[in-house]
A = this chain, B = another copy of it.
Amino acid sequence: MSTIIAVDIGGTQIRVATFSPDSIIPIQVKKIPTKAVKSDPYTRVVGAIESLWPENGKVSCISAAIPGPVDPHTGVIASTPNIEGWKDFPLAEKLQTHFNVPVYLGNDANLAALGEWNFGAGQNHMDLVYLTISTGIGGGIIVDNHPLEGAHGLGGELGHITVLPNGPLCGCGQRGHLEAVASGPAIVRHVKEQLARGIASSLQTGEDLTARDISTAARNGDPLAISALARAGEFIGMALADFLVIFNPTIVIFGGGVSFSGEYLFEPMQKVLKKKVMDQAYLKGLTITTAQLGDDAGLLGSLALAKSKIKHDN
- Chain B residues, CB < 8 A from A78: 281
- Chain B residues, CB < 8 A from A285: 151
A153 at the interface (CB under 8 A from B): yes
CB nearest to A248 among chain B residues: B150
A146 at the interface (CB under 8 A from B): yes
Q: Which of B150, B174, B284 is within 8 Å of A249, CB to CB?
A: B150
Q: Nearest Cβ in chain B — how far from A280, in angstroms? A: 11
Q: Which of A95-103, A158-166, A190-198 contacts B (4 or more CB under 8 A)?
A: A158-166
Q: Which of B151, B165, B245 is within 8 Å of A160, CB to CB?
A: B245
Q: Nearest Cβ in chain B — how far from A64, in angstroms? A: 20
B174 touches A276 (CB 8 A): yes
A246 at the interface (CB under 8 A from B): yes
* Chain A window 269-313, contacts with chain B (Cβ cutoff 8 Å), 1 for yes, 0 for no: 000000010110110110000000000000000000000000000
How far is B150's CA from A141's CA once the two chains are assembled, in angstroms? 11
- Chain B residues, CB < 8 A from A155: 127, 143, 245-248
- Please tell me the size bucket of the interface on A: 35 or more
A134 at the interface (CB under 8 A from B): no
Q: Which of B157, B158, B164, B245 is within 8 Å of A157, CB to CB?
A: B245
A80 at the interface (CB under 8 A from B): no
A152 at the interface (CB under 8 A from B): yes
A250 at the interface (CB under 8 A from B): yes
How far is B156's CA from A145's CA once the two chains are assembled, in angstroms? 16
Q: Which of B161, B164, B249 is within 8 Å of A151, CB to CB?
A: B249
How far is B143's CA from A148's CA once the two chains are assembled, in angstroms? 6
CB nearest to A175 among chain B residues: B276
A263 at the interface (CB under 8 A from B): no
In order of increasing CB-CB distance, the 5 nearest A-B pairs are A150-B248, A155-B248, A157-B245, A154-B248, A161-B242
A and B contact pairs by CB, cutoff 8 A, 10 listed = A149-B248, A150-B247, A151-B250, A152-B281, A154-B248, A156-B246, A162-B163, A165-B165, A165-B238, A173-B278
